[in-house]
Amino acid sequence: MESEEGERIPLSQRPEWHDVTPVPQDDGPNPVVPIAYTDEFRETMDYFRAVYLADERSHRSLQLTSEAIRLNPGNYTVWHFRRLILETLGADLQKELDFVEDIAKDNSKNYQIWHHRRGLAEKLGTAATVTELEFTKKILSLDAKNYHAWSHRQWVLQALGGWEDELDYCHQLLKEDIFNNSAWNQRYFVITKSPLLGGLEAMRDSEVGYSIEAIVVNPENESPWRYLRGLFKDDPKSWIDDSRVSSLCLKILRAKSRCVFALSTLLELVCDGFRPSSEFKDAVVSLWNNSGSDSTDSSLAETICSVLGFLDPLRANYWTWRKSKLPAQTV
């Protein structure tokens, strides 16, 4: 609350608070990690403790929680008490959405805000679908990888619906930034969970095409490679039988650059039972020869591990380990 000059009026000087005795924080005589609170912070929290302890669910308490939340949006006790007040007062939840949005502007990575928002949307039901999808879109337009915003959006879709445009939205974000792994994750969520699309198997064919297209442009982009692998989760037979996957690996390997993911994908294929033709062997061996080393490996899987150990030294230990654990049929 501010005076006409815009200065905060201390609670102790506001007539509507004269009947309340503030409750100081019980920090003890010699607290550790003591915070040098400003007078404003200390007073606000002292009055908050007073109404919280008295369980006073009033309009002035609601107003006080707004002030306390502005000073520290991470105080989950204040948020919790605010929910109790809203419930008791039967407050206008649309107005509450505006309050949350205002706080979220500067604190979009705070657990409490999103938990509060979810609670509000739960109460509002399908009336909140559009506002919640728009709200998360707004947050994601500032930070397209905001973890909380994505979680909230997924919750909205599953609890309230609004799947119609979601695949398009993912496509739009990926068009803006094909390296945005959160958008790839959302795409996976949509194709596996949307009631409108028929599930993973129905979507697999077109999604394989979609991810391959992205890989060809940026073979060093890990996201579509993981997505492609994810499309065949729990179905290794289709994975090794889809010739588009192996052809993709071959194409990238022959280009002889940015091929760590092509090699590691080929390794997965071989380990899962794919039988590579001599073309694959030639492409891998040619990478090996480029490194100037002599190969003593007897199988393609072993050679791939050796090449990866060379091209990807940061993960040399991992590739050595993989080499030592190759399935019997690949060696």
Q: Which of residues 268-327 bind another protein (CB under 8 A)?
A: 272-273, 313-318, 321, 325, 327
The span from the CA of 72 to the CA of 66, in Å, is 10
The span from the CA of 91 to the CA of 95, in Å, is 8
204 lies in the binding site for another protein (CB under 8 A): no
What backbone torsions phi and psi does residue 55 show, to the nearest 5 degrees? 50, 45
179 lies in the binding site for another protein (CB under 8 A): yes
Retrieve residue 110's tokens.
């705070």
- For another protein, the closer of residues 95 and 325 by Cβ is 325
37 lies in the binding site for another protein (CB under 8 A): yes
The span from the CA of 57 to the CA of 82, in Å, is 8
- DSSP helix/strand/coil, 8: strand
The span from the CA of 231 to the CA of 244, in Å, is 13
198 lies in the binding site for another protein (CB under 8 A): no
- Residue 105 annotated to the active site: no
The DSSP output letter for 314 is G
197 lies in the binding site for another protein (CB under 8 A): no
- For another protein, the closer of residues 181 and 295 by Cβ is 181
Close Cβ partners of 163 (under 8 Å, ≥ 6 residues apart): 157, 190, 194, 195, 196
The DSSP output letter for 287 is H
The DSSP output letter for 7 is P
Q: In this chain, which of 19, 33, 134, 298 binds another protein, going by CB under 8 A?
A: 33
- DSSP helix/strand/coil, 36: coil
- For another protein, the closer of residues 171 and 282 by Cβ is 171
The span from the CA of 25 to the CA of 4, in Å, is 31
236 lies in the binding site for another protein (CB under 8 A): yes
138 lies in the binding site for another protein (CB under 8 A): no
Q: Which of residues 241-260 bind another protein (CB under 8 A)?
A: none
219 lies in the binding site for another protein (CB under 8 A): no
Kindly name the residue from 95, 105, 109, 145 that is annotated as catalytic.
109
- The radius of gyration of the chain's CA atoms, rounded to the nearest angstrom, is 29
Quote the least distance from Cβ 24 to another protein, whole Å: 9
Pattern 53-92, another protein, x by CB under 8 A:
x-----------------xxxxxxx--x--x---------
141 lies in the binding site for another protein (CB under 8 A): no
Positions annotated as catalytic residues are: 109
